[in-house]
Structure 1
Amino acid sequence: MDAPTEIRICIDVDSLERGIAFYTQALGLRLARRLGNDWAELLGASSPIDLLANASGTAPLGESHAQRRSYARHWTPVHLDFTVTDIDAAVARAVAAGAVLEHAVEDRKWGRIAGFADPFGHGFDLLEFKGRGYDEILNPSP
């Protein structure tokens, strides 16, 4: 079996224009291209991010499934962490663009973290590493 060569992140939004505005303003991503009226590719992170416009109440797994999209705040075991070099500035930029700060900046051994919800109910974190990043947890400094 071939190993994957790239990870593409797909984020459902209820409005493509609002999604583009939020992710470009809040995180400094840039619109690379539109792939139709309901799909936009954003670049600037280590993986491309595809915004996919899907109306609230539509079925993500086909009409035979009971589950429906909802853009109210929700939790999923998968979330995105975006690393930044200045978390205080990044937090201010994200909130100004419409993110909800759910967990204020907190210091950890490896750096600093803040938790958010985007305008579409998806959770994400901002991380600012210090020193050796996560290695600060595993190994004492040399």
Structure 2
Amino acid sequence: MDIRICIDVADLPRAIAFYTEGLGLRLGRRLGDDWAELLGGGSAIDLLANAAGTAPLGASHPQRRDYGRHWTPVHLDFVVEELEPVLQRLLALGATLERPVQERRWGRMANLADPFGHGIDLLQFCGRGYDEILQPSA
């Protein structure tokens, strides 16, 4: 099974720049004026241009797209070799750092919002990564 990640954005060119220049993903193909496929991670990311205020589930649905910072229980984690340079690029491209970089047993983490209000995290693993939480290695 493949997983495709779909991210609604209000400004497709800005989103392409954010995710390619900031995270090193590459533009796979444009699928019309409102859809871009990004490659280079473990799963393809589809950026879907949809204007703020439009209904995501049909005109009769009460919810509307809002690109201000919003909370959802789903977010994307991007594993990077060096956290600082990626963090600085993302901030320059419009990301918001939501709390100071955290040091964890398994590595470091930066919690951000992309320019469209979506939560993203940068993870820099050290040692055995998440396995550092488990019993020490023999």
Q: TM-score, normalised by structure 1?
A: 0.94
Which residue of structure 2 lines up, in the alignment, with residue 65 of structure 1?
Answer: 61
Which residue of structure 2 lines up, in the alignment, with residue 125 of structure 1?
Answer: 121
Which among 3, 7, 10 is matched to residue 7 of structure 1? 3
Note the aligned Cα RMSD (angstroms).
0.8
Which among 88, 98, 103 is matched to residue 102 of structure 1? 98
Identity of aligned residues (%): 68
Structure 1 segments, 4+ long, off by >4 Å, are: none
Q: What is the distance in 1 between the residues matched to 2:113 and 2:6?
A: 16
Q: What is the distance in 1 between the residues matched to 2:11 and 2:100?
A: 27
Deviation at 1:33, TM superposition (A): 0.5
Deviation at 1:139, TM superposition (A): 2.1
Deviation at 1:53, TM superposition (A): 0.2
Which among 12, 15, 26 is matched to residue 22 of structure 2? 26
Q: Structure 1: give runs of 5+ residues left out of the alignment.
A: none
Q: TM-score, normalised by structure 2?
A: 0.97
How many residues are aligned here?
138
Which residue of structure 2 lines up, in the alignment, with residue 52 of structure 1?
Answer: 48
Deviation at 1:89, TM superposition (A): 1.2
